[in-house]
């Protein structure tokens, strides 16, 4: 790719660098109707004005922030601001259906998630995948809104653009997944109860002035956006880890790969496990002291339910620390945070040499789906078999290279019992175990769950899994200029080709 023009965030879809404002979200997985590719590309031209840019998404968040501030100052309730966001992304099969056959330079995207999901790679049990994700999916349109009504209204507008319900329809629905933030105080928390979406990398010249971790600089734009500085190809870890270089088609500039995962969560079973394996918190309970089950939950995740990192507040939750990112792990020690804790596995910070995690950072945009746990499920300590009561996380993350980002994180960190690698910790830990939240592999266990040094090398066996992947796909989320000039049909004469 030739030296690109400077980044203009108007060109980048809003979910990537900013996140679409949302209480409700729908992921509409579609196929371009056979023989209708050309008409679909015409319809896409009418659809593009609906696509939310980074600038628009940022503006919406700023309006909310200002509105909340003003309402607090005036002692008034915060007014509901109507909002809806729309983004679109295509699978490899979708690119081909549109006649875009260039190699994107990312073999994991080129082969699709189904080929990557099995036991020898991500580790999914494909027999429990929703059969819809084994069908051909060409793309995903995601719509977010601040209410169900606004969401439905935007969905209807999109249906009209693609002539849904009419003989000249150009897309077919493969399946849809609907997410919503959890009610009341659980807003922003996923179904196990933990505050989610907190730690995100700051991107150079986009998230001005935000440096999340001490000793870490904002990540180069190319870790997220194709064709930007830092999009240098696969990095195979090792003492001489160097990016291998990559060639991108011109239309890929300012696009990003979206890894989407449909993850079911077994919430009563997770809670029952915590209750059955409480950590020793002594007998005396001061106000604010956790139960043994709460302490175990926090140490499996690496954060308390409020979001406070156990590394900063190891003995009790402290909501004042909820959004803190300014911590490093002590390489020689897992007393404050287990090596296998979910956040230590997925962002090992100082467990690896300075700068080694930069290329591995992803931007997460998940949302919870499904209803709250029912009283009956709580009593039975088991999730219901009723599909209407299925719950979990619609996990979505962006990166410029799946082999450096999501795929690597799941396969080489979360599923790898030997990661982080042995160091001079006391006591010495050669095998920290798999990630207790998302890890797959044998044995299903970790060490270091207990903060008590004498007990810290004891193995904690998890037995069953609490997060069950039920499907997913890899998509490419193009820039707005690429949508206009490469994906949609040519509009007015003389329009600019990328
Ligand atoms: Fe995770 N959880 O509730 O336990 N995650 N995650 N995740 N996750 C994080 O910082 C969770 C999943 C990452 O920089 C928090 O947002 C659950 C996948 C990364 O410190 C919590 C599921 C992958 C981070 C959870 C799930 C990741 C992170 C702490 C599935 C990638 C940031 C709050 C149902 C392969 C790490 C926060 C950092 C944080 C949970 C999935 C990755 C609470 C329940 C599939 C990179």
Pocket test for ligand 1, best of 265, 342, 358 (most atoms within 8 A of CB): 342
Residue 492's pLDDT is 52
What is the predicted pLDDT for the residue at 354?
83
pTM: 0.97
Neighbours of 68 (CB within 10 A): 12
Write out the catalytic residue numbers. Answer: 196
d(C-alpha 252, C-alpha 481), whole Å:
10
Give the closest residue (by CA) to ligand 1 atom 29. 196
SS3 of residue 270 by DSSP: helix
Please report, for residues 54, 197, 340, 361, the alpha-carbon distance to residue 201 in angstroms, rounded to integers and kept in the order given.
16, 11, 21, 7
State the angle between helix axes of 148-161 and 37-47 in degrees (0 to 180), rounded to the nearest 10: 130
Phi, psi of 28 (to 5 degrees): -105, 105
In 378-466, DSSP assigns E strands to 392-399, 445-447, 459-461
CA distance 270 to 265: 9
Q: How much is the pLDDT for 204?
A: 95
> pLDDT tens for residues 401-441?
999 999 999 999 999 999 998 877 777 888 999 999 999 99
- What was the pLDDT predicted at 495? 44
Residue 435 Cα, ligand 1 centroid: separation in angstroms? Answer: 10
Atom nearest to 193 CA in ligand 1: 3
pLDDT digits (tens, 9 = 90+) for 273-319: 999 999 998 876 788 899 999 999 999 999 999 999 999 999 999 99
pLDDT tens, per residue, the chain with 498 residues? 667 889 999 999 999 999 999 999 999 999 999 999 999 999 999 999 999 999 999 999 999 889 889 989 999 888 778 899 999 999 999 999 999 999 999 999 999 999 999 999 999 999 999 999 999 999 999 999 999 999 999 999 999 999 999 999 999 999 999 999 999 999 999 999 999 999 999 999 998 777 677 777 899 999 999 999 999 999 998 778 899 999 999 999 999 999 999 999 999 999 999 999 999 988 767 888 999 999 999 999 999 999 999 999 999 999 999 989 999 999 888 999 999 999 999 999 999 988 899 999 999 999 999 999 999 999 999 999 999 999 999 999 999 999 999 999 999 999 999 999 887 777 788 899 999 999 999 999 999 999 988 887 899 999 889 999 999 999 999 999 999 999 999 865 444 444
Contact 329, 337 (CB under 8 A): yes
Using alpha carbons, select from 403, 48, 93, 98 the residue that is nearest to residue 257: 403
Distance, in Å, from the CA atom of 229 to the CA atom of 472, rounded to the nearest integer, reads 29
d(CA 30, CA 140) in angstroms, rounded, equals: 6
35-38, long-range: CB < 8 A, 24+ apart: 36/169, 36/170, 36/171, 37/97, 37/98, 37/99, 38/489
The response to whether residue 351 sits with its C-beta less than 6 Å from ligand 1 reads no
Question: Does residue 438's CB lie within 6 angstroms of at least one atom of ligand 1?
Answer: yes
Q: Is the CB of 265 under 6 A from ligand 1?
A: yes
Among 122, 196, 410, which is best to mutate for testing ligand 1, by the most ligand atoms less than 8 A from CB? 196
Q: Which two tokens stand for residue 372?
A: 């709250």
3-state SS, residue 222: helix
Cβ neighbours of residue 58 under 8 Å, at least 6 residues apart? Answer: 9, 14, 18
Task: Report the C-alpha gap between 101 and 187 in whole angstroms.
Answer: 42
Question: What pLDDT, on the 0 to 100 scale, is given for residue 218?
Answer: 92
């Amino acid at each position: 790719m030739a030296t690109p023009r400077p980044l203009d965030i108007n060109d980048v879809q809003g979910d990537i660098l900013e996140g679409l404002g949302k209480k409700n979200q729908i992921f509409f997985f579609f196929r371009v109707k056979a023989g209708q590719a050309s008409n679909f590309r015409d319809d896409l031209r009418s659809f593009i004005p609906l696509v939310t840019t980074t600038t628009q998404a940022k503006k919406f968040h700023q309006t909310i922030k200002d509105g909340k501030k003003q309402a607090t100052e005036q002692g008034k309730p915060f007014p509901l601001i109507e909002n809806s966001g729309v983004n679109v992304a295509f699978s490899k099969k979708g690119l081909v259906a549109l006649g875009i056959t260039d190699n994107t330079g990312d073999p994991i995207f080129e082969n699709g998630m189904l080929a990557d999901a099995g036991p020898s790679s991500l580790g999914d049990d494909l027999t429990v995948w929703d059969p819809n994700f084994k069908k051909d999916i060409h793309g995903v349109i995601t719509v977010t809104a601040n209410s169900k009504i606004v969401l439905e209204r935007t969905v209807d507008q999109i249906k009209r653009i693609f002539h849904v319900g009419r003989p000249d329809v150009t897309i077919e629905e493969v399946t849809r997944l609907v997410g919503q933030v959890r009610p009341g105080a659980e807003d922003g928390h996923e179904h196990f109860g933990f505050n989610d979406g907190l730690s995100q990398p700051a991107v150079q010249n986009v998230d001005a002035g935000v440096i999340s971790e001490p000793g870490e600089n904002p990540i180069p734009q190319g870790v997220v956006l194709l064709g930007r500085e830092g999009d240098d190809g696969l990095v195979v870890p090792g003492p001489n880890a160097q990016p291998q270089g990559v060639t991108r088609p011109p239309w890929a500039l300012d696009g990003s790969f979206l890894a989407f995962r449909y993850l079911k969560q077994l919430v009563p079973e997770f809670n029952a496990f915590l209750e059955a394996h409480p950590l020793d918190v002594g007998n005396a309970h001061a106000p604010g002291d956790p139960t043994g089950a709460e302490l175990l939950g926090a140490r499996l995740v690496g954060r308390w339910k409020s979001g406070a990192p156990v590394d900063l507040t190891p003995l009790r939750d402290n909501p004042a620390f909820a959004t803190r990112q300014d911590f490093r792990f002590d390489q020689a020690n897992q007393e404050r945070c287990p090596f296998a804790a979910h956040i230590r596995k997925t962002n090992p910070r100082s467990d690896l040499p300075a700068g080694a995690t930069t290329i591995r950072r992803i931007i997460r945009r998940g949302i919870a789906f499904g209803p709250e746990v029912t009283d009956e499920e709580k009593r039975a300590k088991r999730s219901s078999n009723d599909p209407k009561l299925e719950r979990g996380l619609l996990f979505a993350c962006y990166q410029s290279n799946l082999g450096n980002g999501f795929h690597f994180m799941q396969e080489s960190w979360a599923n790898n019992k030997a990661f982080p690698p042995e160091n001079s910790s006391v006591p010495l830990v050669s095998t920290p175990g798999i990630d207790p939240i998302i890890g797959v592999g044998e044995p299903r266990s970790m060490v270091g769950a207990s903060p008590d040094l004498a007990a810290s090398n004891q193995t904690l066996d998890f037995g069953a899994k609490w997060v069950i992947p039920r499907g997913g796909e890899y998509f490419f989320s193009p820039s707005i200029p690429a949508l206009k000039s490469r994906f949609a049909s040519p509009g007015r004469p003389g329009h600019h080709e990328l």
